[in-house]
Amino acid sequence: MARRKLAGLRVLVTGASQGIGRALVVAAAARGAKVLAAARSPELLAQLATEVRAANGIIETVPADVTKPEDRQAMVDAAVKHFGGLDVLVNNAGIGATGHFMDSDPEVLRAIFETNFFGLSETTRVFLPLLKQGVTPAIVNISSVVGKRALPARSLYSSSKFAVAGFSEAIRAELAKDGIDVIVVSPGLTQTNFSQNMLEQKAKMQLDHLRGMTSDQVAQAVLRAMEKGTVDVTLTLQGKLLVLVNRYFPWFVDWKAKKTVRGLFADEIAERKKAQSAASPPK
């Protein structure tokens, strides 16, 4: 994997208006990158551009929804118009949901995959011709710790991130002949408004995102991975521990997850057993 200097590189960040994406734009511009920020909100993009330019950073913006073919092409056109091409594509746009699979709406699962997987993969597809001509080109896919080990009540989001991991591994080998690095960064809990923007929130146990990394810390970790050419980065101590334990003792993680769910649904389990006992014929 290639080492790279960020100064002067042309970088596109999707999902750039808030959270990790916004922090990435600010941090990359501060290091001298030429940044193209893409997101659905023109208003938030305008505020971001004002902030970056006030700090003497180089930024252009393009309102775009990664799920729409015409918007993906608009990002390509903007990269060519403003910077003459692209060196690094950061696929950051993503949405989520919590709750048990049996209680979820099928359309929510499809919506999550449209953004987190199909939006990511098709954005990658349209940018490959530009990246092949880029300087130390790279694709950076922002995944999640639950894309390495699934957790209960996160099945929809987790499955989309597992798809991202598999896609990334495959194209990493395919694109080696073109000199394009494929980097996957998997944040753990992060202090963003991601949880407030979820399509559904039905989980009985909420995770405390305030105990996680800040968006700025995640952004710095992503930029370090880009500079060093590190192919796979897992963030937060808890995230690293989860992945490590799951690698060697997956049965323990399964047991712990099942125990947690049974505890949350203890009353429901007790009622079901009571009903089953009452329905059983006398011996």
**Which of the residues are catalytic?**
157
Cβ-count burial 92-121 (b if 16+ within 10 Å, e if not): bbbbbbbbbeeebeeebbebbbbbbbebbb
Q: What is the DSSP letter of 183?
A: E
Question: 191: exposed, middle or buried (C-beta count within 10 Å: 0-12, 13-18, 19+)?
Answer: middle
Helix (H) or strand (E) holding 273: helix 266-279
- The answer to whether residues 19 and 209 touch, using CB atoms and an 8 Å cutoff, is no
The Cα 30–Cα 52 span in angstroms is: 8
- The answer to whether residues 157 and 116 touch, using CB atoms and an 8 Å cutoff, is yes
Site of tokens 């991130």: 161
Instruction: Measure Cα distances from 40 to 17, 61, 184, 186, 247 in Å.
Output: 8, 11, 23, 23, 38
**What is the 3-class SS of 236-250, one letter each residue?**
CHHHHHHHHHHHHCH
The Cα 257–Cα 162 span in angstroms is: 18
